Structure 1
Amino acid sequence: MLKFQNKLALITGSGTGIGQAIAKRFVENGASVIILGRRREPLDETAKMLEGIISEKNSGASVRIFSGVDVADEAAMNGMFESLVKDNVTIDFIINNAGVSGPVTCFANASMDDFKSTIAIHLTGTFWGSVQALKVMKPGGKIITISTFFTEERPLEQRPYRFRSPYTASQGAKNRLAELMSWELTDKGIISIATNPGPVHSDRIYKTVYPKAAAEFMRVSGFEDLNPVEVDAANKELLPLLGEDERVIKDGIAKAAEKLANGKDIAKLTETLTNLLNKIQTIAEKVQNNTSHMIANQEFLSQGQVSESVLNLCDDEIAKILNGKVIPGDRVFYPVKPHIGTTTPGVHQPDFAGKAIVFTIDATDKTDAERVEFLAQHVEKNGGKVACFISQSTPADLQEYISSKFHSHVVDIKNPEEVERWLNTAKTNIGEILGIIHITGKLSDGLKLTELSRAAWEELTEKFISTPANVAQRALEQFVPGGSKDPRLYKDAKGAIMIIGPDLPIGRKVTGTQRAQVEVFRGALRPFTTTVNQELSDVLNSKIRIFTIFPGSVTGSEPNNQRIADAFNFLVSDSSASSSEVTFCVDELR
């Protein structure tokens, strides 16, 4: 009898790539599989291949297809699981594999719609697929989540992944979600493990991620006589030509030159575009080569090797041992600075005279409002002016509390255009903006994340991931008007952005589950902050910094708002521009 005979595995994103390799490995070991994805054709081809293996093994297994299923599509996912419930199906394993590369560009230039879409596929897709799968799982069922190695590597370290801010945010949160599910699903007997396979041979990495990263380097600086906007337009035409034969490339460049000429000399533009494509290919190969040289044998994993590791995690005894763990299967020895600290270095108290500090606030409870009060008074006491923009989702009594003390407006801080408009208003009415402080608020007590509705979950990802990102991006545009289109404007620009929260829970009897819940959203903000700061400093050569402050401690002690004020003092000082540490757990005292 084959190892997984009479077992059933559901693999998301399984028409191609790693998902297909995992499905193949399962049926080779006797399991039946459910494969799903957005496109029917690759699923049909995969099913035909899998059925051939089943016939050869004579295992009696089966293949079931659900096409047109995007893991971010609530209705499609619900419909699939309703069909399985109706057919009295029991799933033994769900493999959360589906994913996309997401936008590959500086955060300042990224579309917030694309940012949210990446979060929806990687993080919400994993969450909702896992939660719905509980309807058709019994004790002993296993949730295996495939995430990335470009997030946490060791305690108090982060790996920045320039040009991939929504990807790193969603992957960091996904790692912590896998841990959280192991806590919340213990009573159901369900095991949750994540694995970070590291670089894997795939078309996505060779034809999409590396070339797009190389193209973004070219956009940031401009190329020959092309400005960043022109390089961006050229990149869209040129990238699909990579890997094609010489004649296709030559014809493609000629068509691109005609399309983009806009009064330029066609022959000269053709030469420039040829040089640009060659430069992109050279940089992409260099990035790949540099990554491989951080691996002992300089080899990326194959998709088959990843599938083997996933099946190992599905073994009953191994899964029990590793329940709740994130397995760093990658072998990249990636040199990184810590990026995470505790208390910030002390600096002389800045004089805020003539400067404006803007607060954007998504308060959950009274202590959030009191934190705003403390920090705003700190600014005013030292000569600065304060404007408070309060989220519409903040409870009415807290809106009133803050508005009674400081110049405030209730606004839709989820809306990029509205945030930009109010920041412009603040600059016009109270002066140059020195810094922008965003308060995320806390995670409400008494939640069980795996029992939330889809709408309630999406409110949390909006509150703790998308809204801070939206405020940060509008702040960048405030500090460098037009910088998203012309990154050269960022050179030596100054500005300070601070994201505060979510807090760790307070009390002497804080549970592991409570901490793990908060860590899901902290897990998004850590790599996001690290990645964006690397872009700001190393790519854009600016002195703008984003700090994230996480109040509270693992011992459950009360947060100290003075330490947050001290952190802001450091953020607006010249010293912060050279700091490798950008995330501070200010209440964690060693």
Structure 2
Amino acid sequence: MKFQNKIALITGSGTGIGKAIATKFVEEGASVIILGRRKGPLEEAAKELEGKIPQGTNASVRIFSGVDVSDETAMNGMFDSLKNDNVTIDYIINNAGVSGPVTCFPNSPLDEFKSTIGIHLTGTFWGSVQALKVMKEGGKIITISTFFTEERPLEQRPYRFRSPYTASQGAKNRLAECMSWELTDKGIISIATNPGPVHSDRIYKTVYPKAAAEFMRVSGFEDLSPVEVEEAKDDLLECILADGVDKEGIAKTAEKLANGKDVAKLTETFTNLLTKIQTIAEKVQNNTSHMIANKEFLSQTQVAESVLNLCDDEIAKIINGKVIPGDRVFYPVKAHVGTTTPGVHQPDFGGKAVVFTVDATDKADAERVEYLAGHVEKNGGKVACFISQTTPTNLQEQISGKFHSHVVDITNPEEVSKWLNTAKTNIGDILGVIHITGKLPEVEKLTELSRVGWEELVAKFISTPATVAQRALEQFVPGGGKDPRLFKDTKGSIMIIGPDLPIGRKVTGTQRAQVEVFRGALRPFTTTVNQELSDVLKSQIRLFTIFPGSVTGSEPNNEKIADAFNFLVSDISASSSEVTFCVDESR
């Protein structure tokens, strides 16, 4: 009865890992609050949990159904209700999540990209912030993330077909660290844990089969086009049964999508496709298990045990602010993080266009645009600057006074596409697209931001760079999202610059941790997209991310960023495994 008289709130707890965690808390005497979008699974879980309440305890189970963690109104209402009932939460477990789109980034719908970020990252942030209303000193925030996004020395793991998932999970790890800095005065502890591969229906029925289907869309299958595989895959995956396949369902899918084709022949093709998808999914699972010493994924109950261990008072004090790797996978990767880029001979940009998309925060950002755009023009290139509407007016004028510029809504995919097309028409083929995120605005604490303030930062440092990158890929390979075959041997360069580390001799740990939340999103995002571009799509297009500044607080050097762009547009960059560069670091 270690947690008797304690209350734990677990997000996404109607099924899976969340339900397993709630079960462990109840068995240890705690009361639990479970929540999720679907009422049915929550009611079933509550009935099961109530049956496990130990005799002699006053533990209880409370449900909040219809609560999507990304829904501000629903989350606010839930925590206000708890506050009005004088409930004190001892533990909030940020567990809710979704698979998100499982496809190559060029084919990933941006609304689904943003939705995945909203559930995983914003849901974790806002749930934690709102929980502070009903937490007291000694409370603990436990965030569940994934081992795939965690850095090792000079490495960053890619997770192909999962770019929004990796971006949000990487940011969650750094958010957990940041909250430990910001909440220390409240006596609230923040810890993250990366369990590694876990036995779950999501992996076996969703992630692995969808990934296998994406391999088929990219590589092709029999006489099916990529679009035909895309149209059929969701229906076909529904036909996977525990003891085989739903043959009638496959036939119905063929009938629905025949479009003049022979239905019997298409049924046979779809059957073969589903068999191939199952084979690949099993192979992925088997390969992953062979990277584990005992070849076993964790059970959901084992994950729950580890979470409760992190809630132990003494253990939590020791590991406050840490990201605990439950990662037992030996996952060999190339180095993806570098410092200064390799030196190359200064390229001639003659006749080529370089497009800047700019979301400047301060004068130094505008000066960076001036330096880099001047570098391009000095070496024969042409420049177009598309400046965000949120950039301060004086900075807009500073840039537009020297270069061909337009103030546009760079958060809007259609706007970005329109202006990239305009640039290509008016000034020539686009050699590269450079997106400048600007710096993190000065905020005392992220955890004291309004919801609007937080979402502006997510848009600035995650959604907008992704929007620009995807539309740039469409510019380099028109139609490539739907037909991945078009990417083979194509060239193009995209560079994201920022956010910078803070400058000065007295930079605090909190300031660094705040910036790292958003760098933590861009590192795995960049690595994942590049693995898809190189290994899956066989292109020579590269997306680089440059992180200016250093941990010592020194001034960033724009000349090193210009050198990085020179390297990016060179032929040798296509064979480089390093795609994230901290150009001002000497380590």
Counterpart amino acid of residue 8 in structure 2: A
The equivalent of 2:501 in structure 1 is 504
Structure-2 separation of matches of 1:465 and 1:495: 21
Q: Counterpart of 1:480? A: 477
- Deviation string 1:88-142 (CA, Å, 9 cap, x unpaired) is 1111000000000000000000000000000000000000000000011111000
Q: Distance in 2 between matches of 1:430 and 1:570?
A: 23
Question: Which structure 2 segments of 5+ residues have no match?
Answer: none
- For each residue in 1:505-526, what CA deviation from the matched residue of structure 2 results, as whole angstroms up to 9, or x when unmatched? 0000001000000000000000
Find the counterpart in structure 2 of residue 519 from structure 1. 516
* 1:358 is aligned to 2:355: yes
Q: Take 1:205 and 1:124, find their aligned partners in 2: how far apart are those partners?
A: 23
Q: What is the alpha-carbon distance in structure 1 between the residues aligned to residue 140 and residue 256 of structure 2?
A: 52
Check if 1:213 corresponds to 2:196: no
Counterpart amino acid of residue 110 in structure 1: S
**Matched AA of 2:13:** S
Deviating beyond 3 angstroms after TM superposition, the runs of 4 or more aligned structure 1 residues are none
Q: Counterpart in 1 of 2:43? A: 44
The separation in 2 between residues aligned to 1:269 and 1:495, in whole angstroms, is 37
- The residue that corresponds to 2:166 in the other structure is 168
Find out whether 1:295 has 2:292 as its counterpart: yes
**Structure 1 match to 2:88:** 90
User: Displacement, 1:274?
Assistant: 1.0
Q: Secondary structure at the match of 1:65?
A: strand
Aligned equivalents of 1:58 and 1:11: distance in 2?
23
AA paired with 2:232?
A
Within-5 A mapping of 1:225-236:
225-236=223-234
SS in 2 for 1:553: coil
Matched residues, number: 587
Task: Tell me, in whole angstroms, the C-alpha distance in 2 between the residues paired with 1:334 and 1:245.
Answer: 31
Amino acid at match of 2:193: T
CA–CA distance in structure 2, aligned partners of residues 267 and 68 of structure 1: 43
CA–CA separation in structure 2 for the residues paired with 1:460 and 1:111? 21
**Number of the residue aligned with 1:250:** 247
Counterpart position of 1:322 = 319
Matched, 1:121 2:115: no
CA contact (8 A) 1:140 1:191 kept: yes
How far apart, in 1, do the equivalents of 2:475 and 2:258 lie?
32
Correspondence for 1:334 among 331, 336, 350: 331
Match of 1:410 in 2: 407
Secondary structure class of the residue paired with 1:187: helix
Match of 1:10 in 2: 9
**Match of 2:308?**
311
Which residue identity does 2:263 align to in structure 1? I
| Residue pairs, 1:8-157, within 5 angstroms | 8-54=7-53, 56-157=54-155
Post-superposition Cα deviations, 1:306-348, rounded to whole Å, max 9, x if no partner, equal 0000000000000000000000012001001120000000000
SS at match of 2:147: coil
Letter in 2 for 1:85: K
Is the 1:22–1:310 contact (alpha carbons within 8 Å) kept by the matching residues of 2? Answer: yes
Q: Deviation at 1:42? A: 1.0
Q: Helix, strand or coil: the match of 1:35?
A: strand
Q: What is the aligned partner in structure 2 of residue 444 from structure 1?
A: 441
Correspondence for 2:220: 222
SS at match of 2:149: coil
Q: 1:376 aligns with which of 373, 378, 384?
A: 373
Q: Which consecutive residues of structure 1, in runs of 5 or more, have no partner in the other structure?
A: none
1:401 maps to 398
What's the TM-score once normalised by structure 2's chain length? 0.99
> Once the 2 structures are TM-superposed, how far is the Cα of residue 398 of structure 1 from its aligned partner?
0.3
* SS of equivalent to 1:49: helix
- SS of 2:387's equivalent in the other structure is strand
- Separation (CA, whole Å) in 2 of partners of 1:25 and 1:244: 28
Tell me by how many angstroms 1:236 deviates.
2.2
Report 1:266-281 matches (<5 A).
Answer: 266-281=263-278
Q: Distance in 2 between matches of 1:502 and 1:417?
A: 25
1:557 Cα offset (Å): 0.2
Q: Deviations over 1:527-563 (max 9, x none)?
A: 0000000000000000000000000000000000000
Note the C-alpha offset of 1:34: 0.6
- Match of 2:179, SS state, is helix
Secondary structure (helix, strand or coil) at the match of 1:547 reads strand
Pairwise CA distance, 1:9: 0.5
Indicate conservation of the 8 Å contact 1:28/1:57, yes or no. no
Residue 183 (structure 2) aligned to one of 182, 185, 200: 185
For residue 327 of structure 1, give the secondary structure of its aligned residue in structure 2. Answer: strand
| Partner deviation per Cα, 1:427-477 (whole Å, 9 max, x = no partner) | 000000000000000001243100000000000000000000000000000
Give me the whole-angstrom Cα distance separating, in 1, the residues matched to 2:233 and 2:6: 47
2:468 corresponds to 1:471 = yes
CA–CA distance in structure 2, aligned partners of residues 222 and 417 of structure 1: 29
Opposite residue 335 of structure 2, the aligned amino acid is P
Aligned-residue offset at 1:153: 3.8
Q: Secondary structure at the match of 2:492?
A: strand
Kept in 1, the 8 Å contact 2:239–2:247? The answer is no
Percent identity (aligned): 84
Q: Which residue of 2 aligns with 1:567?
A: 564
The yes-or-no answer on 1:462 pairing with 2:451 is no
Mapped to 2, the partners of 1:134 and 1:223 lie a distance apart of: 52
Distance 1:45 1:207 in 2: 21
Quote the Cα distance in structure 2 between the aligned partners of 1:239 and 1:519. Answer: 38
Q: What RMSD over aligned residues (CA atoms) do the two structures have, in Å?
A: 0.8
How far is 1:244 from its partner? 5.0
Deviation at residue 28 of structure 1 after TM alignment: 0.6
Q: Which amino acid aligns with 1:17?
A: G
Distance 1:504 1:156 in 2: 18
| Partner residue in 1 for 2:192 | 194
Q: TM-score, normalised by structure 1?
A: 0.99
Q: Residue type of the partner of 1:464?
A: F
Q: 1:242 Cα deviation (Å)?
A: 1.1
